[in-house]
Amino acid sequence: MKFELTTLEHTKNPDIKWALGELEKVKEQAVVAGDEERANNCWRESEALQLTLIYIEAFHKIKRGEYREAWYDLERCEIKCQFVIRNSSEEFCLNKNIFFINHQISNLQSLYPYCVFSSPGMVVGYYSCGICDHKIRPRSRCSHAKGKIYNGKLCVHVAHDIVLKEISIVSKPVQKYSVVHNDETLDFSVLEHLMAVLEEAFEEWDVIRTTRKFPIDMFFRVDLDSDCPCKGGGKFGQCCSKKAEVEIPHLDFVFRRDIPNLPGIKFPY
Ligand SMILES: [Zn+2]
Ligand SMILES: [Zn+2]
């Protein structure tokens, strides 16, 4: 069965829900029949379909300014992409646009102003295998590898006896779900600027990180005690305030089609 799935309108097609249900049924039959390859194929198709839906929805949430909700979707989608890539052929991933989606997720995430996350510090009593329930100890493992699929089921390690110790604030967390910021105080203008140009989730675009120099006079509004516009981490007064020019990070968006009246990003200082 074939249907188009690139726009928000397409995601409302009832055939998609039906197809997901069918894949689940065929998978169960395959498991009963001992046909592992068929079961795994169903898992792959189903995951690819689900992550495409999540990606398209996340894209349009960003377009509507629902940045936080989109952030959680992108995180879910990223995890699904990683497992599909790990358990599928390159050809499958190319056909289903998985590499494209995976790349655009990290592009979009990189344009978010979030940089501080909270991470729950926890102690896990023990893990068990999600496939065979084997209790995992250093010298006692089962034959299942975490992140691989068996009979259409993803092998995860299930944590037991979890004790939450503390909430630590880190800048590179294992999971990106817990964002500490209050979105009201953050600047989403880069995403806003990008979304003013993009209409659909599968348009090709990329971002190139460069720097640009501006004469020092243009920074007269910047307080000497505030962070230096060069983003080097120091205070303006101790960093670039005495230079003739300040070099600041700059993003160049690359689009695959001609954009009439491309809005210019305003000088931020
Ligand atoms: Zn196992
Ligand atoms: Zn500086």
Contact yes or no for 226/238 (Cβ under 8 A)? no
- 67 and 137 inside one domain: no
Please give the distance, rounded to the nearest whole angstrom, from the Cα atom of residue 156 to the centre of ligand 1. Answer: 9
- What is the model's pLDDT at position 69? 95
Task: Indicate if the pLDDT at residue 265 is higher than 80.
Answer: no
Between 177 and 45, the more confident residue is 45
Between 175 and 136, the more confident residue is 136
Average pLDDT on 178-198 reads: 84
Please give the distance, rounded to the nearest whole angstrom, from the Cα atom of residue 243 to the centre of ligand 2. Answer: 9
Number of domains making up the chain: 3
- Element housing 163 (H / E): strand 157-170
- 127 and 101 inside one domain: no
Residue 36, in any domain of the structure: yes
pLDDT in tens, 204-242: 999 988 899 999 999 999 999 999 999 888 999 999 999
Please give the distance, rounded to the nearest whole angstrom, from the Cα atom of residue 143 to the centre of ligand 1. Answer: 6
- 213 and 159 inside one domain: no
Report how far residue 259's alpha carbon sits from residue 33's, in angstroms, rounded to the nearest whole number. Answer: 54
Closest Cα to residue 196, out of 252, 103, 249, 264?
A: 264
Regarding an ipTM greater than 0.90, the answer is: no
* CB neighbour class for 55 (10 Å; exposed up to 12, middle 13-18, buried from 19): buried
Parent domain of 244: 204-255
Please give the distance, rounded to the nearest whole angstrom, from the Cα atom of residue 142 to the centre of ligand 1. Answer: 5
Question: Which residues, 6 or more positions from 160, have their beta carbon under 8 angstroms from its beta carbon?
Answer: 124, 125, 126, 127, 128
Task: Indicate if the pLDDT at residue 264 is higher than 70.
Answer: no
- 32 and 93 inside one domain: yes
Which residues have beta carbons under 5 A from ligand 2 (an ion)?
228, 230, 232, 239-240
- 97 and 147 inside one domain: no
- 77 and 143 inside one domain: no
- 88 and 141 inside one domain: no
Task: Indicate if the pLDDT at residue 106 is higher than 70.
Answer: yes
- 65 and 48 inside one domain: yes
The DSSP output letter for 206 is E
Task: Indicate if the pLDDT at residue 175 is higher than 70.
Answer: no
Residue 185, in any domain of the structure: no
Which of 89, 110, 131 delimits the end of a domain? 110
